[in-house]
Chains A and B, each alone.
Chain A
Amino acid sequence: MGMPRKLAAKLLRAAIRLAPPQSREWAAAMLRELDFIEGDWAALFWALGSFGAIFRHAATEWRAYFTNQENKEEQMNETGKKAIGFASGALLALVVSLSGLGLLWILAILFPGLGIDHLEWTHFLGAIVIPEIIFVVSAVLLWRKRTPVAAGILLTGIGIAIHVAVHLATH
């Protein structure tokens, strides 16, 4: 089995793993057909086209799911909506903070020569200053249209800032 065919099989196996349940059967069907395609490159082009088709099908399923969720959200009472908005704001803020830390960690591994591990200001900048600026800007932008989300972002940002202040004071 040539390299293009191996790649084609890997691509379609990945599609089976990643696709939502409704698209999985189709991805499996496309993978089975690989055995009957003459030519390694033809198999690879078949897999690339199939992967695109599965991706578009999955996107349709996801869009339908999110539309359904939005409809459910519309049917909720005001308190429920606010709670979900607040929680999603808080979650977004946490994700941004963790991404900042993750980015620093990756940079420290990829470029050990920079000595990011030992530079305190990089931690301060990547994990606190930049995320806090993002929180404030996004909270200001979202305040009028999505107040609960903005409040979630802002309160989580304040919580993280307090945590860091206490950490700096005690260490």
Chain B
Amino acid sequence: MKLRMSPQTVLVLDAFLEEAEDWKYGYDLSKNTGLKSGTLYPILMRMAERGLLETQWESGEPGRPPRHMYRFTPDGLRFARTNASANAGSGLGQVAMGLNVLGLVEA
């Protein structure tokens, strides 16, 4: 289960770790991480292909188009917790945090 741990991937994993049981939407993730859609979705796609993320269409109200939702699989949660703790004090975690703080990644 390999996933390249770029600073952007670390940001996405962190966003999913907040209330990890809840389903999350693409645009909300984009706002929370500051990543643009062109960066965020390839990461989501890779995570889903590697079985780290489960996806589902929201059964929305009638007349309202459903939204695609994402959350960790049990494997994904384990992977994120392991890597988040490994990256927390590392250069990668610092870079990810720095990107967010400096506003270098924006929606």
Contacts and interface: CB of A to CB of B under 8 A. Distances in A.
Main secondary structure, interface of B, reads: helix
B73 interface: no
Contacts of A47: 37
Interface stretch (A33-41, A66-74, A82-90, A128-136): A33-41
Nearest to A31: B65
A29 B42 contact: no
Contact of A56 (B37, B42, B66): B42
Main secondary structure, interface of A, reads: helix
Interface residues of A, number: 22
A50 B68 contact: no
Interface in B21-56: 25-27, 30, 36-39, 41-42, 44-45, 55
Nearest to B25: A33
A134 B29 CA distance: 52
B67 interface: yes
A96 B11 CA distance: 49
B107 interface: yes
Q: Give the one of B41, B44, B66 with max A CB within 10 A.
A: B41
A53 B107 contact: no
Given A36-B27, A37-B27, A53 B37 contact: yes
A78 to B, nearest CB: 37
A30 B38 CA distance: 10
A26 B42 CA distance: 10
Given A30-B26, A37-B27, A52 B65 contact: no
Contact of A53 (B38, B55, B68): B38
Given A46-B36, A53-B37, 17 more contacts: A25-B55, A26-B41, A32-B67, A32-B68, A33-B37, A35-B65, A42-B107, A45-B36, A46-B27, A49-B38, A49-B41, A52-B38, A53-B42, A56-B42, A57-B41, A57-B42, A57-B45
Interface of B: 25-27, 30, 36-39, 41-42, 44-45, 55, 65-68, 107
